[in-house]
Amino acid sequence: MSNKNDNWLYIISPKKKLIDLNLKEIWYYRDLLILFVKRNVITVYKQTILGPLWYFIQPLFTSIIFTLIFNNMANIPTGEGVPSFLFNLAGITSWNYFKECLTGTSNTFAQNQGLFGKVYFPRVIVPLSVVLTNLVKYAIQLLVFIGFYIYYVFFSETLVTAKPQSAIVFLPILIIIMGFLGLGLGMIISSMTTKYRDLKFLISFGVQLLMYGSAVMYPLSYFKEKLPNISWVVEYNPMTTIIEAFRYMTLGVGDFSLVKMLYTTLICILIFLIGLIVFNKTEKSFIDTI
């Protein structure tokens, strides 16, 4: 009897391991991942007239409003030779990517209850598909950003001295880090909400508050100058570093140092790992508690 145990294909048992990420299985389900991404992208704006144009409209209008209120009215400086509209667009685009990753993954279990209750597939496929979907959106929005950049440099009368820095080669890494942070936080929140619904309320206004603490519509240096006592809240927020770094890479303004990047990367990876562990623990039995 005992020598037979070796040739079982797999064993279903109560979960004990901390991280039980079956990469082979995820690879097997890669088609599903792609189909989910496709579904997410094409179904969002089905039966709308403007269709994918909505991807552009939302960040554009937010940037215009931000420019009017924070720069024209409240006179927040955006740096020498950097149009405040471009400054805001850079911040909003990146912030949106993080925000959508976070909110999109944070209701993984609640939203897919019906599906998860009936069929098995590696659950992590769903949050992954959300992040990939947002990556597509982000890419489209980056195009808009580049478009306006070109417009300001070549066709605008205002003097634009903003220049992309050589550090821009690290942009893909920055995007990956941002995705990891959103995914990690989202997985933690989605796992916790299966049992304790309290977090659902936190996330809706928490994300909004977090935006004000992430240097989206103001430069970190200005915040430090005005509110030196509480500036550490913004300074040690990993999203601040990411957004500042993004603006430094593309516009040449902002706070960028290797030490801070390293710190942020570590934090993001840590949060991602915690998210993975919590998600992993939840996925096997959440259907009983949700």
Partner 1 sequence: MEKDIILKVENLSKQYRLGLVGTGTLGHDLNRWWSRIRGKEDPYLKIGESNDRSTKGNSDYVWALKDINFEVKQGEVLGIIGKNGAGKSTLLKILSKVTGPTTGEIKTKGRIASLLEVGTGFHPEMTGKENVFLNGAILGMTKMEIQSKMDEIVKFSGCERYIDTPVKRYSSGMTVRLAFAVAAHLDPDILVIDEVLAVGDAEFQKKAIGKMQDISNSDGRTVLFVSHNMAAVKSLCSRAIVLQHGTTIFEGDTHDAVDFYLKSDVANDIAHYVNETPESGSDILEVSMRDKNNNITGLFGFDDQITLQVKLRITEDILEYGSLGFRIKDKNERTVFSSEINLNEFVKKDGVYFSNIEFPKSVLLPNDYRVIIGYHVPNKKKIRSLFDVINFRIEETGTIFHKYKGVDFGCVVLDCKWSMIAD
Q: Is 172 near partner 1 (CB under 8 A)? A: no
Q: Which is nearer to partner 1, 137 or 247 (CB)?
A: 137
Binding residue count for partner 1, defined by CB under 8 A: 40
Q: Which of 15, 151, 227, 257 binds partner 1 (CB under 8 A)?
A: 15
| Whether 214 contacts 243, CB under 8 Å | yes
Alpha helical stretches, state H, 82-219: 84-106, 108-111, 113-116, 125-154, 171-195, 198-212
Nearest to 135 by CA among 166, 105, 167, 168: 105
| Whether 190 contacts 127, CB under 8 Å | yes
Could you tell me which stretch among 31-39, 57-65, 143-151, 153-161 binds partner 1 (CB under 8 A)? 31-39
Q: Is 18 near partner 1 (CB under 8 A)? A: no
Q: Which is nearer to partner 1, 121 or 222 (CB)?
A: 121
- In the complex, least distance from residue 99 CB atom to partner 1, rounded to whole angstroms: 24
* Residue 182 structure tokens: 């959103």
Q: Which of 60, 77, 107, 195 binds partner 1 (CB under 8 A)?
A: 195
Could you tell me which stretch among 29-37, 78-86, 172-180, 211-219 binds partner 1 (CB under 8 A)? 29-37
Q: Is 281 near partner 1 (CB under 8 A)? A: no
The helix-helix angle for 238-251 and 84-106 (nearest 10°) equals: 140
- In the complex, least distance from residue 137 CB atom to partner 1, rounded to whole angstroms: 18
Site residues for partner 1, 110-169, by CB under 8 A, read 114-121
Is 123 exposed, middle or buried (CB count within 10 Å of its CB: 0-12, 13-18, 19+)? Answer: buried
Nearest to 87 by CA among 255, 249, 205, 217: 217
Q: Is 4 near partner 1 (CB under 8 A)? A: yes
* Residue 27 structure tokens: 């690879």
* Residue 187 structure tokens: 């997985």
Nearest to 146 by CA among 20, 256, 59: 59
Q: Which is nearer to partner 1, 50 or 173 (CB)?
A: 50
- In the complex, least distance from residue 187 CB atom to partner 1, rounded to whole angstroms: 18
- In the complex, least distance from residue 122 CB atom to partner 1, rounded to whole angstroms: 10
Sign of CA dihedral 151, 155, 161, 164: positive
Q: Which is nearer to partner 1, 7 or 166 (CB)?
A: 7
What track of x and - describes contact with partner 1 for positions 48 through 87 (by CB under 8 A)? ----------------------------------------
Give the distance, in angstroms, between the CA of residue 175 and the centroid of all CA atoms in the same chain: 8
CA–CA gap between residue 104 and residue 107 (Å, rounded): 6
CA–CA gap between residue 226 and residue 161 (Å, rounded): 25
Q: Which of 42, 53, 64, 168 binds partner 1 (CB under 8 A)?
A: 42
Q: Is 5 near partner 1 (CB under 8 A)? A: yes
- Binding residues for partner 1, per CB under 8 A? 1, 4-5, 7-15, 28-29, 31-32, 34-36, 38-39, 42-43, 46-47, 114-121, 195-196, 284-285, 287-289
